[in-house]
Structure 1
Amino acid sequence: MRARLDELAAWDPDTTRMSYLETAYAPVLPLVPSRILMADPSALIPPQRAAQYRAAGFETRTVPGTGHFIHTDNVNRFLAALDGWA
């Protein structure tokens, strides 16, 4: 458990931008309708990055009171965030 906590403490959230995938295909715009679910508070996607995703055509939804594992932290709110989508 301690090793996992040390690993998380050293993790760089900027890696979520996928800029390290220079040779991989990373679309600028969604090719199909795409919804990004975010925890609230989100340690991975700050508000300005969420705004960038929306400006690029992605839909974003925040799931209050959840962490990284949105679907297990609050299954009812997770399902509500999918309402009208799936």
Structure 2
Amino acid sequence: MHWIGCPNSCGQVQVADIGFLGCLTKDSSGKIIEAADIFVGGHVGSDPHLADVYKKFVPCDELVPIVADLLVEKFWAVSREREEDEE
């Protein structure tokens, strides 16, 4: 996973298995909050591929369940029951 906040892509979010590009968005009340665009599927090597945009403008407090689902869906992680205070 790569997490960057630079709009110039200094952390190369496009080549990460899962990449996060920090950004800002507005919540339902119009308040500006921290968020991230999520990219999936990038890799380098013999068959390089740039990551595809998975979701844009995801508020940071909503990332945990989305990443957990991504890990199960795309990377064969084993789903487990989460406790409420783990978020």
Q: TM range, normalised to the smaller chain?
A: under 0.3
Report which of the two has the higher share of helix.
Answer: 1
Work out which structure has the larger RCO, using CA pairs closer than 8 Å and 6 or more positions apart in sequence. 1
TM-score (norm 1): 0.25
What TM-score do the two structures reach when normalised by structure 2?
0.25
Give 1 or 2: higher strand fraction.
2
